[in-house]
Amino acid sequence: MTIVLTSLAFLVAALCAGVMGFAIQRGATCTVAAMDEVVNKRRFQRLLSMFEASLWVVSGLLIDNALGLLGTMPAGYAITLATIAGGVLLGIGAFVNRACVFGAIARLGSGEWAYVATPLGFYVGCLGLPYIYAAPAAQKLTHGSPVLQASLWVAVLAGAAMLVRLVAALRPIDNEAEKSLVTRLREGITKHIWSPHAATTVIGISFFFMLLLVGAWSYTDVLAELARGMSRNVVARTALLLAMLAGAVIGGVTAGRFMHTPITLGQLLRCFAGGVLMAWGSALIPGGNDGLILVGIPLLWPYAWLAFLTMCVSIALAKLLERRFAAAGERETADFGH
């Protein structure tokens, strides 16, 4: 789909990208944070909220497909060993980076400037992979997504579920029944931290409207296309990436969370290395975790589910090993002190 910079559709899409960045920053949406919560707190709130974002996209796809408004959707890919290897690399890269591609946006929105090296590392990783490993082209599936073959009644149920979720999100808080909708929305914007479910709801809805206006889009895809020298709407797609970053910064500033963080060489190297590893993983799958969550998983492509779950398991195992080594180091220190 051609994107025209002066079109109303692009302006609305840029606004949606900014809202996505705002929500990512406010909700601290990050797969690494989600797995940290699973490992250390035995809670799944953040992880489930990510799947909730996918459900919002699914609901929108069902409705628009039933109305005949949906354009061409991305194809799925066959599951191979590269799918699993890509998920592992994606998870290790996110662990090294201390944030996934979503989390890097949130960190930038808080003024942690070292995370500028993450997208740079991702770009360099995409640029350099062909010189290191000649990965075979991913095999596209010939059949369409089962989501797009669903009957009309499924779309009706999805629409009802979306309406119920919206009403629940906007219900009066703390029994202040007289609060106006405008007041509640203003409080939501100025509140310092959003719940993961609120943030991913906004992300899912914003992304869905972008999907309708400019097609499937993720910022890791933009970086990969830049690295491959692809010129398809590169200016407009890059502008959407900048809009997302601007939204994240606005989210940090308005919440009082924006704080200039001095950059160290160690942080830069860690973020750069994490970006490179995530790029390699994304190339093997193919797709970054933003595209998996917001495109592949909603379309019920098995490769996307497997790759994302592999990424999550890899992060969890890395965190468990880190905790074990830290505990062993503390014991050695204590023994040495005695």
Nearest to 87 by CA among 322, 325, 320, 317: 317
333 pLDDT band (50/70/90 cuts)?
low
Q: How confident is the model at residue 272 (pLDDT cuts 50, 70, 90)?
A: very high
Q: What is the pLDDT of residues 174-216, one digit of tens each?
A: 444 444 544 544 454 445 567 777 788 888 888 888 888 887 7
Indicate the pTM of the whole model.
0.84
CA 103 to CA 94: how far, in whole Å?
Answer: 9
Residue with tokens 């909220």: 49
Instruction: Give the model's pLDDT for residue 329.
Output: 64
CA-CA distance, 325 to 198, in Å (whole number)? 35
Amino acid symbol at 266: G
Tokens (6 digits) for 211: 């999907």
User: Inter-axis angle of helices 196-214 and 152-169, to 10 degrees?
Assistant: 130
Q: What is the mean pLDDT of residues 157-182?
A: 57
**Which residues touch 33 (CB under 8 Å, ≥6 apart)?**
46, 99, 103
Residues whose CB falls within 8 Å of the CB of residue 194, separated by 6 or more in sequence, listed in order? 23, 26, 27, 188, 202
DSSP tag of 140? B
The token duo for 255 is 């919440």
What interhelical angle do 265-284 and 219-228 show, nearest 10?
Answer: 80
Closest CA to 278 of 99, 89, 113: 89
Q: Which residues pair with 140 in a beta bridge?
A: 77
Phi, psi of 70, deg, nearest 5? -85, 135
- What pLDDT score was predicted for residue 173? 46
pLDDT in tens, 274-320: 999 999 999 999 988 888 998 899 898 999 999 999 999 999 999 99
Closest CA to 206 of 19, 46, 61, 58: 19
